[in-house]
Structure 1
Amino acid sequence: MIELIFPDGSKREFAEGASGRDVAASIAKSLEKKALLVKLDGQLLDLDRPLPGGGAFEILTRDSAEALEVIRHDASHVMAEAVQELFPGTQVTIGPAIEDGFYYDFARETPFSLDDLAKIEQRMKEIVDRDEKIVREVWDRDEAISHFKSIGEAYKAEIISDLPADETITVYRQGQWKDLCLGPHLPSTKHVGKAFKLMKLAGAYWRGDHRNAQLQRIYGTAWASEADLEAHLTRLEEAEKRDHRKIGRAMDLFHLQEEGKGMIFWHPKGWTLYRTVEAYMRRRLDEDGYVEVKAPQIMDRVLWEKSGHWQKFGQNMFTCETTEGEILAVKPMNCPGHVQIFNHGQKSYRDLPLRMAEFGACHRYEPSGALHGIMRLRAFTQDDAHIFCREDQIEAESTKFIRLLESVYADCGLELHSVKLALRPELRFGTDEVWDVAEAKLERAALAAGVETVEMLPGEGAFYGPKLEFHLRDAIGRTWQCGTLQLDYVLPERLEAEYVAEDGSKQRPVMLHRAICGSMERFLGVMIENFAGAFPLWLAPTQVVVATITSDADDYAHEVARTLRAAGLRVEIDLRNEKINYKIREHSLAKTPVIAVVGRREAEEGKVALRRLGSDGQNILSLAQAAKTLASEACPPDVARGVAGAAAASATVSAEVMEAG
């Protein structure tokens, strides 16, 4: 007999060889019908596979996130079967589930076309309707290699040949079609459902190596229900409208070109947006007790070897050799430079924590295929800072940082969605004991800062320490990882950072590597898509366009522009000989927040008609009132808080003076 422990803590015994289906049926026939998979001691198993033993047991139905991943994997198998039925002679290679969907790589001489996707999708639905049973089979290694070679599946035979000698070879039979696969899978193809759609074609190299044969990849998306599929397609449509590259062109913010691959050509409006966010971040850092520094852009290989970056990151660094034989590297990150500044001159325990910030320009080699607009670049700027502190200050400094990060995201119209803790990678510096301490301290710091749950990411940490990843959520529900907080005992040791403790001894500081925006460019890309280019007034590159109805108002338009600029607003003038409705439409498409319309009447009365983006109405104000109102609205949120705080403090002082008098 085997003993199973259910999620509610109850225990039951079952006969040896019982399957997950048997267990589900023993509980309720309705549960058996809903069951798709089971989980035994954390391992997913096919519903009809005999349970290998007892342990913690769970039955998974369609609404499970883990079941959804298997639905997507099965959808890739159904697609592969459909392709081989429609296009005989096509070889299959690999077809995993991925975020939101699946793909399969095919070897075929004739390229697939977009028209083929509709045919494949239709055949997939027919295979679902066939309700083909999916059965796990264990094969002999040599028999499997021989079989796949005999049916022309050279890639599958190669995969099997490269598997470890003790690996169990499993083949899943799906009707008459079969595929080498580790599994698990659903009981039959009907359980895949029809909430899937093939999305696009792409090229891929066998095993990701450009020296190997080129394959054709078909991507698809699959969901547990038609409603989920429709919601996903709607999100994709909305994301397409918000694509920062399209909006960047439409608003004349920036451009990218081959001669500067992975680097941005900022246009005046885009650079205004950049400087506005940078100035905001500088004010927040000043307020939070940071000092700003600037380290060299290029440093000798010797420093990068001492820090460990050369060994771990050298292939991603841009280097050059001087005529004197020096090997120099353009910095891919800022931390070694900051340690050098810390090391210059003796530091005392009284100097800690020392919060050292830099908007550091970094360069990293990224393959061409990995580049994506301004989200993934070779040249970018990090809003980087390193906090040098004592061990007893880690929790307080981490809490302080998380509070700042949450406030910045809120000011920028973004929401902190989740926090994840990236744990020690396989290749790392430092002992396991050091990593044990660092991981535990960073988790405690996050919880002390009010983070309700911290998801663990095994193997995802930096080579010198674990890191907290801060994932934010945008207006259409997408999540982005921007902010990080890394706890590092290793780099101070390698670069010999030290301070004089209260007892006069020399001690190593702890380093907290932290960023809020991460890459400034990527953060701006996220914000462009979050707002779809319709920025709040304080962020908008052009805040007001003064547009004339007739040429009679040209002189007054200049007066309006001067007055608004004097109030601190970013203003443009449109004096073109075009109809006002045409001007309004054009500036609305350019996402201008406010259009100040002026004609002969406004000039005579000293007024302006303000039209807001997204509104058909207008608000007629005196020029002085318009300047005051718009200047107040355009005040950055941190400055507005400071003004409000100063006003409240002044009012309190006045009240106390009056009371004392």
Structure 2
Amino acid sequence: MLFLSQAQELFFFHDVSPGSCFFMPKGAHIYNTLTDFIKSEYRRRGFSEVVTPTLYSTSLWERSGHWEHYSENMFTVTCEPHTFALKPMNCPAHCLMFEQRVRSWRELPIRWADFGALHRNEHSGALGGLTRVRRFCQDDAHIFCTPEQQLESSLKQFEEHWELNPGDGAFYGPKIDIQIRDALGRQHQCATIQLDFQLPIRFNLQYTGADGQMYRPIMIHRAVLGSLERMIAILAENFRGKWPFWLSPAQVMVVPVGGGSETYGQEVVCRLREAGFMADIDDDRGSTLNKKIRSAQLAQYNYIFVVGEKECASGTVSVRTRAGKQLGQKSLQEVMRSLNELRQTRSNQEEL
């Protein structure tokens, strides 16, 4: 994966910040595309996004119980006479938000999502590329709900196989873990859904029930992708650099043929970029057409648009895939419509 990240200029690590990833523009595109995907699902499923601080007084972590059990894995900052810690998770902050006013049963479930940066002081020997880092981001969310809105009923409606593992619950309470395997057969825990009875008690969270009495909410911690960094590592291994179009950091390479076509080629690139596509142009006059096409294929551009005098005159592009298949001459408007459909459907297909 390290070779892939260097070849495609996705990300790198540096000793000045051990265990923290530097995402280059193309890597940031993958990172942001995954984030945008999850945010689009949030809007469909009733989640609201919140923004919370990164640095908190240790009094918060003592209240939540994390200081007692997790302090050795937290980065601390001392500003006399106070000690602060970088957050390794978002849940205590969301509890603070819940308690800002009296909540009603009519509001529940409340679904809050948070993409804040998290820091965990992993031992240097445990660090491993993007799969184990010190600075990371989760598609993290917390659901505050009533005891009647619970996990088991959801699992019973789930049509796929699942197994009960008694006694394997974490500190907070029962949880659902989803394990996936990467291209090398390694198993990773990414998605997790976990009940929490502890934090609502520690923060004395309450809501007013239909009968006017005060009740304790249940808190559910959930992430689908899990760590974005770890998910990118898994996807990189899976696709081996041949990213599907919707996720690809190198979607289209425009190749002009002849000096007169360069202006049109630039216009095509501008149209593509304005529509949000990752497009570049190879205007090196010293390279042959075959060399330009080969270079674009090696760089894993999903599509290569060749434009010459004929394409300039007709407002078209000649389309090739990175696998070498020629899809023929198409109008730019038609191609952009097809590309947009591929992006929206998140299809893995190659043909337009």
| Structure 2 residue corresponding to 1:587, chosen from 296, 302, 306 | 296
Deviations 1:433-492 (A, max 9, x none): xxxxxxxxx5x6434423423152755x43222321111244565543200011111110
Q: Secondary structure at the match of 1:320?
A: strand
Q: Contact 1:568/1:631 (CA < 8 Å) preserved in 2?
A: no
Identify the match of residue 106 of structure 2 among 350, 354, 359. Answer: 350
Which one of 54, 57, 71 corresponds to residue 300 of structure 1?
57
**How big is each residue's C-alpha offset from its partner over 1:355-400, in whole Å with a ceiling of 9 and x where there is no partner?**
11111211000111111111110000011111100010114xxxxx
Match of 2:324 among 596, 615, 622: 615
- Aligned 1:391-402 pairs, distance under 5 A: 391-395=147-151
1:470–1:482 contact (8 Å) kept in structure 2? yes
* AA matched with 2:144: F
Deviation at 1:299, TM superposition (A): 0.8
Counterpart Cα distance in 1 of 2:340 and 2:158 = 35
1:550 equivalent in structure 2: 258
Q: 1:262 aligns with which of 2, 13, 19?
A: 19
Match of 1:498 in 2: 206
- Call closer, same or farther: CA 1:463–1:600 in 2, change over 3 Å: same
Letter aligned with residue 376 of structure 1: R
Which amino acid is the alignment partner of residue 246 of structure 2?
W
Deviation at 1:277, TM superposition (A): 1.1
Distance (whole Å) between structure 1 residues aligned to residue 217 and residue 63 of structure 2: 17
Greater mean alpha carbon deviation, residues 621-630 or residues 521-530:
621-630
Aligned AA (1:373): G
- The 5 Å alignment of 1:58-73 reads none
Equivalent residues in 2 for 1:290-329 (5 A)? Answer: 290-323=47-80, 325-329=81-85
Match status 1:571 vs 2:279: yes
Equivalent runs, 1:462-541 vs 2, <5 Å:
462-474=170-182, 478-541=186-249
Matched-pair contact (CA < 8 Å) for 1:305–1:311 = yes
**Greater gyration radius:** 1
How far residue 309 of structure 1 moved from its aligned partner, in angstroms, is 0.5
TM-score by length of 1: 0.50
- Structure 2 length as normaliser, TM-score? 0.92
Relative to structure 1, is the Cα distance of residues 445 and 626 closer, same or farther in structure 2, using a 3 angstrom cutoff?
closer
1:338 equivalent in alignment to 2:338: no
Residue 247 of structure 1: aligned partner: 4
Corresponding residue to 2:40 among 280, 283, 295 = 283
2-side partners of 1:458 and 1:619: how far apart? 60
Identical pairs, percent: 39
| Aligned with 1:373 (options 123, 126, 129) | 129
The runs of 5 or more residues in structure 1 that have no matched partner are 1-242, 396-441, 639-661
1:507 and 1:455 map into 2 onto residues whose CA distance is 28
Greater percentage in helix: 1
Q: Determine if contact 2:245/2:346 at 8 Å carries over to the other structure.
A: no
Aligned residues between the structures:
346
Deviations 1:55-77 (A, max 9, x none): xxxxxxxxxxxxxxxxxxxxxxx
Distance in 1 separating the partners of 2:297 and 2:8:
11
Q: What is the identity, as a one-letter code, of the residue corresponding to 2:226?
A: G
Indicate how the Cα distance of structure 1 residues 457 and 469 shifts in structure 2: closer, same or farther if over 3 A, else same. farther
Specify the alignment match of 1:624 in structure 2.
333
Q: Note the C-alpha offset of 1:542.
A: 2.5
Alpha-carbon distance in 2 for matches of 1:335, 1:252? 34
Distance 1:287 1:476, change over 3 A: same
- Aligned: 1:633 with 2:338: no
DSSP-derived class of the 1:517 partner = strand
